[in-house]
Every structure is written in structure tokens, then in C-alpha cells.
């Protein structure tokens, strides 16, 4: 079955709270860019030490720069923990 991206956007990503969350993530990335410089974060992700869903924040003390592969494979899960799909 083909994935309906339009429906997914309308049902989730277009919600006001998700738009606000995305804006906060953008602000966090900009803050790290201003702090470390564009070259330091080029090709990398700004990672949350404590995930937002676990009560973390977008504050500077909760952010770090991480390689894309390790950040996205971790997804906030501990090693060995089963990931839900």
C-alpha cells in the first residue's frame, strides 16, 4: 500500500502544536549555529540529550551536535531497547 503523505501532513504535521514544535527545533538549531559556527554543525544534527518526549527541553544545556547516522538510529532509545514502529 502506498503511503499517503498528503493525509499524513494534514492529520499530524499541520496541527498547530506540531508547527510550534518544528519552530522550536529550528530555533534550537539556529542557537547552536550561532554558538558553535556553521562549519561545526554542517552535515550534523542538533540532538537532545534528554528527549522532548521524556521531559527534555530545547534549552542550550540539553542540546548537543551529533552525527546524523548515530542521532537518527538512536531515536531516543537506549541500546538494546525495542523500538516501536
Please give the chain's pLDDT, 85 residues, in tens: 899 999 999 999 999 999 998 898 899 899 999 999 999 999 999 988 888 778 888 888 999 999 988 888 876 566 666 655 5
Residue 46 belongs to some domain of the structure? yes
Is 67 part of any domain?
Answer: yes
Does residue 32 lie within any of the structural domains? yes
Range of the domain at 29: 5-74
Assess if residue 65 is contained within a domain. Answer: yes
User: What is the per-residue pLDDT for 56?
Assistant: 86
Q: CB under 8 Å to 56, separation ≥6 — which residues?
A: 48, 49, 50, 62
What's the structural domain count of the chain?
1
Within a domain: 14: yes
CA-nearest of 37, 77, 70 to 54 is 77
Residue 38 falls within a domain, yes or no? yes
Residue position matching grid coordinates 546524523 = 68
List, as own/partner pairs, every contact residues 27-30 make where C-beta atoms lie below 8 angstroms and the sequence separation is at least 24, other chains included.
27/58, 28/58, 28/63
Q: Which helix (H) or strand (E) holds 27?
A: helix 16-36
pTM: 0.70
**d(C-alpha 65, C-alpha 81), whole Å:** 23
Amino acid at each position: 500500500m502506498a503511503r499517503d503523505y498528503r493525509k499524513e501532513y494534514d492529520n499530524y504535521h499541520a496541527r498547530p502544536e506540531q508547527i510550534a514544535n518544528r519552530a522550536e527545533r529550528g530555533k534550537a538549531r539556529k542557537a547552536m549555529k550561532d554558538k558553535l559556527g556553521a562549519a561545526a554543525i554542517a552535515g550534523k544534527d542538533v540532538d537532545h540529550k534528554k528527549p522532548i518526549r521524556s521531559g527534555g527541553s530545547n534549552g542550550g544545556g540539553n542540546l548537543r551536535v551529533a552525527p546524523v547516522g548515530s542521532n537518527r538510529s538512536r531515536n531516543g532509545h537506549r541500546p538494546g531497547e525495542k523500538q516501536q514502529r
